[in-house]
Amino acid sequence: MSTLTLDAFSRRSNVLARRGMVATSQPLAAMAGLRMLLEGGNAADAAVATAAALAVVEPMSTGIGGDAFALFYDAAAAPQQRISALNGSGRAPAGLHLEDLRRAGLSEIGLESPHSVTVPGTVAAWADLLARHGTMPLAVVLQPAIEYARDGFPVSELIAASWQRGEARLGRLPSGRELLPGGRAPRLGEVVQLPELARSLQAIADGGAAAFYQGEIGRRIAAFVQELGGCLAVGDLASHRSTWDQPIAIDYRGLRVWECPPNGQGLAALLALGIVAHDDLAAAAPAERWHLLIEAMRLAWADARRWVADPAFVDLPLAELLAAPYLAGRRSQIDPRRANLAPASGLPNADRRPLQPAPRADTVYLSVVDGQGNACSFINSLFHGFGSGLVAPGTGVALQNRGALFDLNPDHPNCLAPGKRPYHTIIPALATRGDELWACFGVMGGFMQPQGHLQVLVNLLDLAMLPQEALDAPRFCLPDGEPGGPVAVEAGAGEALIAELRARGHDVTVMAGMERTLFGVGQVICRDVDSGVLTAGSDPRRDGCALGW
């Protein structure tokens, strides 16, 4: 069998449909969502079914031990109430204090530390999305996921490779073997059953979110984390709540682009779009366009890395950051001939701190639009592969390590505090024209995500690409969201473009093969406002597909 590579992209066509569409990174999960649409469910029902299936078939990337965010477009609501933002991220334990960690000599929270485990918000997010926007009960939409976990599913080559990368991490403790069937990571084509995870999903189907947060699953999670020296307690899980927030948005090329507000990093995408909103990107030469987008992203990161934090704890200057005068001032700082390798936030007293490295494509994103025009842009993650690598015994639940993104500098907005939500990388997006849905989209993959939103939208709007072409096109990335750092460029961008970027002072690294996972994985569903026809694309950098009917 040939060695796995991402260099030879197969040609993909756009997928068109009228009654509904699901696009995500794994075909079995896309089919789970389509099943809900075929059975009369709507976009919310299909989104949760897809997300739950992904928690089984891509267990290194997502799961009920992680967090989720969603943007929902309700076609039947009044225009000003059509878009809602669901924050399904969990909080730091009430017993985890900054002072204790600093006294212990820690300058950061380790990626595999029990202190990195924040309350998992996924299950509550699923239940709350269905309660507000769905038409089916949780017990119904979880059935495909339960079937995959209980009866088995075949492992694809990309998922097998990701599973093997996490094998050592899972093998550190006996409970990790619950996600190592047969004592090792599965190989391509093997049929895998995850009985402990199946039982946990069935308990949630039977008892709702309470079975997770107030039941035996939650008790096992808390006891396990405390056994390892962490602070997560049953009270932290029992008191967890999702929040519904007012989304943030900016106008771009006649559209309104929507993101979830902080503690997510969607702000970075909106800042970059606002900085280049008045440039004629379509007329620019490729190197000129890429330079401008990279420089806009550098400036956006300088602000986002400083200001993205939990707004329940810190007043964040979102209106000022997204105001036209501020964005124009940021645009004026871009030198068309030279890279700025030391960008700073444009607001006073705004230093920034390094964040823990984010995973490369260890997240799942899904896009759903139903026949009534409702849409759900949904993202679910454990942060790193299998999260912290800690699996609560008897549950099959890998616990996320989002707490590693807290800052331990007490003067930073993202500093650790009990009950606080950390900086979050996962971001869904929507775009509307007037009051009507135009696109439901996202690009997952750590700090690549806002950079992916920027580039995919520019491809769609400025370069008039269809969804699949917009996803196929080569991308750049500022790895780990480092504003002044090097630029990774995907193989296929062209030698002339790369040479011109280097001439402008960018430290360019070209990435090929499996390194291309750095550039994220996107899904796009566009909706024709007049005909209602859905046109979808699915990123060739992963196994997924778009399915419609």
528: pLDDT strictly greater than 50: yes
Residue 544, domain member (yes or no):
no
Split at pLDDT 50, 70, 90, the class of 281 is: very high
Residues 382-410, mean pLDDT to the nearest whole number: 96
Could you tell me the pTM of the whole model?
Answer: 0.96
Residue 525, domain member (yes or no):
yes
pLDDT band, residue 361 (cuts 50/70/90): low
- Under 8 Å CB-to-CB from 313, ≥6 apart: which residues? 413, 417, 420
148 to each of 31, 50, 123, 350, how far by Cα in Å?
12, 12, 18, 48
Together in a domain, 482 and 396: no
Region 453-463: what's the mean pLDDT?
98
Nearest-5° Cα angle at 467, 464 to 472:
95
Residue-wise pLDDT for 477-517, tens only, equals 999 888 999 999 999 999 999 999 999 999 999 999 888 88
Specify whether 108 is located in the same domain as 257.
Answer: no
Place of tokens 């300058």: 107
**How many separate domains does the chain show?**
2
Question: Which of helix, strand or coil describes residue 545?
Answer: strand
What number is the average pLDDT over the span 251-256? 97
User: Is there a domain that residue 498 lies in?
Assistant: yes
Q: What is the largest CA-CA distance in the chain?
A: 62
User: Which pLDDT score is estimated for 347?
Assistant: 82
Q: For helices 43-57 and 122-133, give the axis angle rounded to 10 degrees.
A: 160
Please check the confidence at residue 304 and state whether its pLDDT lies above 80. yes
What confidence score (pLDDT) does residue 514 get?
A: 81
Statement to judge: residues 286 and 383 lie in one domain: no
What is the pLDDT at residue 536? 98
Query: Which tokens in the block code for residue 73?
Result: 């477009």
pLDDT over 70, % of the chain: 96
Check which CATH number belongs to the domain holding 299 and give it. Answer: 1.10.246.130
Name which residue leads in pLDDT, 436 or 7.
436
- Residues 121 and 153 reside in one and the same domain: yes
Would you give the DSSP letter of residue 513? G
Checking if the pLDDT of 1 tops 50, the result is no
pLDDT confidence bin for 339, thresholds 50/70/90:
very high
Residue 328 falls within a domain, yes or no?
Answer: yes
pLDDT score at 356: 64
| 423 part of a folded domain | no
In this predicted structure, the answer to whether residue 308 has a pLDDT above a threshold of 90 is yes
Is residue 235, in this structure, part of any structural domain at all? yes
For residue 254, the enclosing domain spans 245-357+428-531
pLDDT at 3 over 70: no
In a domain, 233, yes or no: yes
Helix, coil or strand: residue 413: coil
179 and 273 in a single domain? The answer is no
| Element holding 452 (H helix, E strand) | helix 448-457
Q: Are 22 and 34 in contact (CB under 8 A)?
A: yes
Mean pLDDT on 119-143: 98
Q: Say what the pLDDT of residue 28 is.
A: 98
Confidence band for 348, pLDDT divided at 50, 70 and 90: low
Kindly report the average pLDDT of the chain as a whole number.
95
Q: Which of 360, 367, 361 has its CA nearest to residue 29? A: 367
**Mean pLDDT calculated for residue range 55-81:** 97
Statement to judge: residues 36 and 145 lie in one domain: yes
pLDDT greater than 60 at residue 214: yes
Residue 414 has pLDDT above 90, yes or no: yes
Q: Which pLDDT belongs to residue 357?
A: 62
- Are 349 and 463 part of one and the same domain? yes
State whether 184 and 322 are in the same domain.
no
- Give phi and psi for 73, each to the nearest 5: -105, 115
Residue 184 falls inside a structural domain? yes
| Residues with active-site annotation | 363
- CA-nearest of 498, 504, 502, 501 to 337 is 504
Alpha-helical (H) ranges within 184-309 are: 195-207, 209-213, 216-227, 234-238, 266-276, 286-307
Same domain, 230 and 251: no
> In this structure, are 460 and 517 located in the same domain?
yes
83 in the same domain as 168: yes
Q: Do 384 and 510 share a domain, yes or no?
A: no
